Structure formats: structure tokens, C-alpha cells
């Protein structure tokens, strides 16, 4: 299998200053795999759902080429549920409620095809579960990992262990500062790369994303949108576009990682245009190409130095 993603599959209640949506399908693995599906057909997800999860969404995911053999159904139980409320600036939010439900019993046992995954995406989840998946995938050519401050507060040793084993860590700016105990993102990046990953991606929401290796840095903006309806899942969608593009192209050079960042940013911009995963179910290749061209135009300049 080309790509395997472990992460949550969930229901979300979302409230923004401009609207709300209840019990929409969300979860890291859902957003990641849907975004990646525009670049990779041969992918599967590792997650767990209750019998409240809608068959219709599973059908639509399969239609997009996502293998659901790794999606365990636990009868008589409820799917993971998250409820959150965005502040006016939409770059910060409060979690109102988290019900783990089936998630507390997730104990992945990957089938042989999944174990031969070439690309592995460790979506935000208990690092103990991320480690179990990492242990089972035999020889991935690239491992990308997301996490969040909750695991830094509550499972730092296990988290550091997983971080030491991945190629690319993709987290947000406040998490990078917390993990490294450095205020400067430049210093934070270098401290985190000392922990193991060859690359760090710093996601800054509406303020774009940074890519670091030990020698270079690249910045991609977020697309300025007329309207941000719902930023939920934008970071996961970014990760899905990012690893999907890398898996499709098979090129892990810094220059190709830059392209993957742009692709991830383009996919994330679509995610924000509607509530939940809706936009990721309906994209046309022409829309993606056009959005990527808009990113080219957004940052393109040629400099002619003039001096006093």
C-alpha cells in the first residue's frame, strides 16, 4: 500500500462567530485521507468508529479510493466526539467537550498490505497508538507525524520517543515553542530537529507554514480567502495534501518538500470554505490546479536592487 494514515475518525460540533454545525463527520484520519486522495489512490486508514458512524460517508471515502480495512467498527459503542468554539480571529479555539468513546479501545493490528505501507502518516493521537502503528509498518520510505500540546502535557516521554523515530514532524507554532521551550521559531525548529526529525513543518493557520531542515527554511502563506467558514481540519488537510503529494511524486528533496507544502496549503484553503469535510469530497482537479497557480501568483516577485 502506498500510504497508511492512523488518526481519529470522529463527529464534531463546531461553532464559529459566523455559524455553527452539529455532528459533522471529522477527525484527523478523515481529513488527511480525503486530502491525500487527490494524489494517491492506494491508501488506507487505521482508526475506529462506533455503529453511529454513517455508512454514507464510508461509501464516499471508498469512492475516493480510500481502503477502510483498517477502520475497526465497535458495535454498541459511539464514535469519538469533539466539540469546539472558534474565537473571532479564527486562529484560536476552545475545546468545549471531548468524548473519547471508542477511541480509548483503539489497539491497531495492521493487515499485511498495511504493514508494507511506503508512506506513513501518524495523525494526532495518543503517541502510544502512533508507536504501535510505527512498530508494525515494516520499512516505510517516509514517516510524517502530527501531535498536539495535550500529549506534551500528558505523555511527553512517549511522545519524544515517537518523535525520535519520524522523518518529518508537522505541528503548529505554539506547539513548536512548547516542545522546544524556545520562543524563536528558528531556534525551536533546530532544537526539535535535534530530537530526531530531519524536517520540521510549522503550521501557522491563517499565517501560513514554515518548512525547516538543518540548513534551509521555506515559507508558504495561507491563501487569503473571502470567507473562512470553518477552519476545523485545515491542519490535517494540509498534512494530507503534503504527504499525498510526496507519495505521488516519490521525491523527498527539500525542493520537492517545498512543493508539497504549497499543495498542502492549497488543499487546506479549500477545507476552510465549508463546514466539515464537505469541500474535500467534491473538488475537481482544475480547481486544485487553479488554486496552486494562485499561490504562485501570491508570492511571486522579481527583485531589482536599487541603491541610494
* Span 258-297, contacts to its own copies by CB under 8 A: 258-259, 261-262, 285, 289, 292, 295-297
| 186: contact with its own copies by CB under 8 A | yes
Name residues whose C-beta falls within 8 Å of residue 186's C-beta, 6 or more positions apart in sequence: 212, 217
Contact segment (CB under 8 A) with its own copies among 7-15, 128-136, 164-172, 299-307 equals 299-307
Q: Smallest gap, in angstroms, from Cβ of residue 185 to its own copies?
A: 6
Q: Single out the residue of 228, 268, 280, 283 in contact with its own copies (rule: CB under 8 A).
A: 228
Position 181 contacts its own copies (CB under 8 A)? no
CB of 110 to its own copies, least distance (A): 23
Name the H helices within the chain: 28-36, 55-63, 112-115, 127-136, 149-154, 156-163, 173-180, 185-193, 234-249, 254-271, 285-299
HSE (side-chain half, CA atoms, 13 Å) at 17 = 9
Site for its own copies contains 96 (CB under 8 A): no
Look at residues 132, 111, 113, 130 and name the one whose alpha carbon lies nearest to residue 122: 130
For every residue of 249-266, DSSP letters joined together read: H---SHHHHHHHHHHHHH
Q: Smaller CB distance to its own copies: residue 68 or 292?
A: 292
CB of 226 to its own copies, least distance (A): 5
108-167 residues near its own copies, rule: CB under 8 A? none
Q: Give, in order, the Cα–Cα distances in Å from 119 to each of 18, 106, 150.
A: 38, 21, 25
Identified binder of its own copies from the candidate list 33, 37, 47, 101, rule CB under 8 A? 37
Distance between CA atoms of residues 13 and 23, nearest Å: 5
Beta carbon nearer to its own copies, 11 or 295: 295
β 199-203/209-212 pair status: antiparallel
- In the complex with its own copies, which residue's Cβ is closer, 54 or 224? 224
Per-residue DSSP letter, 138: -
Kindly tell me which residue out of 248, 269, 275, 279 binds its own copies, with binding defined by CB under 8 A. Answer: 248
Contact 274, 282 (CB under 8 A): no
Contact footprint for its own copies (CB under 8 A): 17-18, 37-41, 65, 88, 90, 183-187, 204, 207-208, 210, 216-221, 224-228, 245, 248-249, 255, 258-259, 261-262, 285, 289, 292, 295-299, 301-308
Amino acid at each position: 500500500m502506498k500510504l497508511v494514515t492512523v488518526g481519529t475518525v470522529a463527529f464534531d460540533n463546531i461553532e464559529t462567530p459566523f455559524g455553527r454545525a452539529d455532528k459533522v463527520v471529522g477527525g484527523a484520519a478523515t481529513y488527511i485521507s480525503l486530502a491525500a486522495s487527490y494524489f494517491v489512490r492506494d491508501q488506507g486508514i487505521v482508526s475506529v468508529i462506533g455503529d453511529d458512524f454513517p455508512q454514507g460517508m464510508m461509501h464516499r471515502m471508498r469512492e475516493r479510493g480510500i481502503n477502510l480495512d483498517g477502520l475497526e467498527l465497535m458495535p454498541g459503542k459511539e464514535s469519538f466526539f469533539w466539540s469546539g468554539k472558534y474565537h473571532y480571529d479564527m486562529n484560536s479555539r476552545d475545546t468545549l467537550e471531548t468524548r473519547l468513546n471508542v477511541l480509548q479501545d483503539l489497539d491497531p493490528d495492521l493487515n499485511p498490505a498495511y504493514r508494507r505501507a511506503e508512506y506513513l502518516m501518524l495523525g494526532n493521537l495518543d503517541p502510544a497508538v502512533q508507536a504501535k502503528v510505527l512498530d508494525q509498518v515494516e520499512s516505510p520510505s517516509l514517516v510524517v507525524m502530527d501531535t498536539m500540546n495535550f500529549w506534551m502535557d500528558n505523555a511527553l516521554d512517549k511522545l519524544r520517543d515517537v518523535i525520535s523515530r519520524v522523518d518529518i514532524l508537522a505541528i503548529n507554532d505554539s506547539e513548536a515553542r512548547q516542545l522546544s521551550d524556545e520562543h524563536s521559531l528558528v531556534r525551536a525548529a533546530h532544537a526539535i530537529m535535534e530530537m530526531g526529525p530531519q524536517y520540521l513543518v510549522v503550521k501557522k493557520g491563517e499565517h501560513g507554514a514554515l518548512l525547516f531542515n538543518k540548513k534551509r527554511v521555506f515559507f508558504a502563506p495561507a491563501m487569503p480567502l473571502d470567507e473562512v467558514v470553518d477552519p476545523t481540519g485545515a491542519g490535517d488537510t494540509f498534512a494530507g495534501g503534503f504527504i499525498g503529494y510526496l507519495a505521488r511524486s516519490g521525491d523527498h528533496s527539500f525542493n520537492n518538500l517545498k512543493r508539497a507544502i504549497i499543495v498542502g496549503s492549497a488543499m487546506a484553503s479549500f477545507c476552510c470554505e465549508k463546514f466539515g469535510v464537505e469541500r474535500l469530497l467534491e473538488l475537481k482537479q482544475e480547481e486544485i490546479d487553479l488554486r496552486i497557480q494562485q499561490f504562485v501568483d501570491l508570492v511571486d516577485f522579481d527583485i531589482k536592487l536599487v541603491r541610494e
